[in-house]
Structure 1
């Protein structure tokens, strides 16, 4: 006999026994017509709609830390621009943001614009955000950058979970978007944002002739670095251009981020057609890298310089955004520069 049939048989036997007991009780108490005892009414517990369908989720961030979420995340504090990028893609707004580049991306027109100015601030520096301000914000989640904000985890114990990420290619950016989409109950929004970016990229891959040798450099002075094809921006650029830059020696890229220090002499060997420059300033009055490099006679020998194809870009978006919206902006802006007749 199967388990299911056995359970049904036992239930039938139990039911017959109960009927018999009830029958005997009635026959022994004829004339007793007292009303049945009132039953206590129990109000059902009604959960918020978001929690009613939410199942506990365990994730592992880029540091290998396992985190368990038993309810949807609603309040997110951002100490890295990637967080701002992900939240706007999900139709959410941070409850607090760090200063410097994080606020810069939040106030960009493609993100929160002027509304970003009113988002509460997390004091301190990018490298050391204020724990006190994070505690005051009462977040359900704090999103930071792996390799920079790791030490925050200890200070946030008992306050909020810390998720650290640092995507090295655009597929990792998409995966992080999907993860936060699950935690916030915004899986549909995450899927739509993912598809928007992939549709844009696929369209560009079909149309772009890839006959331009492109390059992304970044830094704050003449000691610049190159984003290689294994760096986040490079994984996008090599889909739409001739992008030959590689990490030749692992020791040049100890953190595996796909960027290496470079020299103008070495740059002249490949001689790019187009150079995109991400300039970072750590003191007032710092000139863009392209202006600083112009003092070198080697700079003027580069094809991109001679053809006026050196372009200072918005480093908070190109370099710091790291999410699908920022990468989509990078695509739009680079395609319009490299192939103006096609895009």
Structure 2
């Protein structure tokens, strides 16, 4: 993926300070969403505002772009599942969301459930969201994925600021949550979600024996890839299991995402106890990845296969959610599979 960076115009800092001195207090209204356990978000330059007020904020997104907000962000449009995760954690509802995987995570019961079907739609594709649909709902902010939605900056220039995110570890996801919490005036909600996720993870680290070797693999067919310990899901699982998979050659992971292509022969050498499979499909009727792997003779030699510990997981949450709520779900489901007698 090629990352295009187009700078947004930035208001002068002195003007921001003068406006902040004159602005009246803004009270926060919290939505009645469930608040599972979670974390902290990506690079802020301004200290947290006093309760009940909003101070102008400057943040830097994953592209290195500095964005400035003179008023509280109240309406967020989501073209990536991560945005839905953040909104749910903060007790907000997006003003519009993309379709496909973004809608899938929105309607999951841990997020918005059936109500997720009523959130206005952003048409187009994941890679090219419909600009008119975004502008129509008049969002204060659009959250997209670095390397995928970079061109939205040009298309929405002068209309809506675009925050490009790319958390690579759970700490990045926690940091990102806190950043958006500041922009939306929902610092309390962000803090609570962050503490919940991190508290759950810490408890699991203390309780898990880490004597099980785990792996996350994903793909659309037998030419699969794996998530290493420097990938998002791997950064969680290495805290509670034996997770020896690493990026040894940077050229294998050119975008620094912590994922590499892998072979069945290498997989057999490591022979994990439990394999979590994220299956993706671009056409109807495609078999799950684990089903396709069954057609390969070496697959049956794996310990996880022989002991029926190959688990198809919810890819929209495990692979695409990226936020603290999704990572909390990943952690819960992984612990139950790895240590059923303890969790």
TM-score by length of 1: 0.86
Describe the SS at the equivalent of 1:58: strand
Classify 1:251/1:136 alpha carbon distance in 2 versus 1 (closer, same or farther; 3 Å): same
What is residue 54 of structure 2 aligned with on the other side?
Answer: 54
Pairing 1:114-129 to 2, within 5 Å after superposition: 114-129=114-129
The superposition leaves residues 10-61 of structure 1 with CA deviations (integer Å, 9 ceiling, x where unpaired) of xxxxxxxxxxxxxxxxxxxxxxxxxxxxxxxxxx996644698211111110
Unaligned runs of 5+ in 2: 1-21, 29-50
What is residue 313 of structure 2 aligned with on the other side?
Answer: 313
Describe the SS at the equivalent of 1:242: coil
Equivalences, count: 300
Classify 1:271/1:46 alpha carbon distance in 2 versus 1 (closer, same or farther; 3 Å): closer
Partners of 1:52 and 1:271 lie apart in 2 by: 54
The CA deviation at 1:289 is 0.4
Partners of 1:216 and 1:184 lie apart in 2 by: 34
What is residue 82 of structure 2 aligned with on the other side?
Answer: 82
Pairing 1:20-169 to 2, within 5 Å after superposition: 48-49=26-27, 53-169=53-169
Classify 1:235/1:175 alpha carbon distance in 2 versus 1 (closer, same or farther; 3 Å): same
Classify 1:157/1:206 alpha carbon distance in 2 versus 1 (closer, same or farther; 3 Å): same
The superposition leaves residues 269-308 of structure 1 with CA deviations (integer Å, 9 ceiling, x where unpaired) of 1000000000001000000000001000000000000000
Describe the SS at the equivalent of 2:285: coil
Partners of 1:200 and 1:67 lie apart in 2 by: 32
What is residue 338 of structure 1 aligned with on the other side?
Answer: 338
Answer 1 or 2: which has greater helix percent: 1
Partners of 1:257 and 1:249 lie apart in 2 by: 13
Classify 1:333/1:156 alpha carbon distance in 2 versus 1 (closer, same or farther; 3 Å): same
Describe the SS at the equivalent of 1:68: strand
Partners of 1:193 and 1:45 lie apart in 2 by: 29
TM-score by length of 2: 0.86
How well do the aligned residues superpose, as a CA RMSD in angstroms? 1.4
Quick check: 2:73–2:183 contact (8 Å CA) kept in 1? yes
More contact order relative to length (CA 8 Å, sep ≥ 6): 2
The CA deviation at 1:158 is 1.5
Describe the SS at the equivalent of 2:297: coil
Q: Name which one, 1 or 2, has greater alpha-carbon Rg.
A: 1
Quick check: 2:26–2:53 contact (8 Å CA) kept in 1? no
Partners of 2:304 and 2:100 lie apart in 1 by: 31
What is residue 198 of structure 2 aligned with on the other side?
Answer: 198
What is residue 278 of structure 1 aligned with on the other side?
Answer: 278
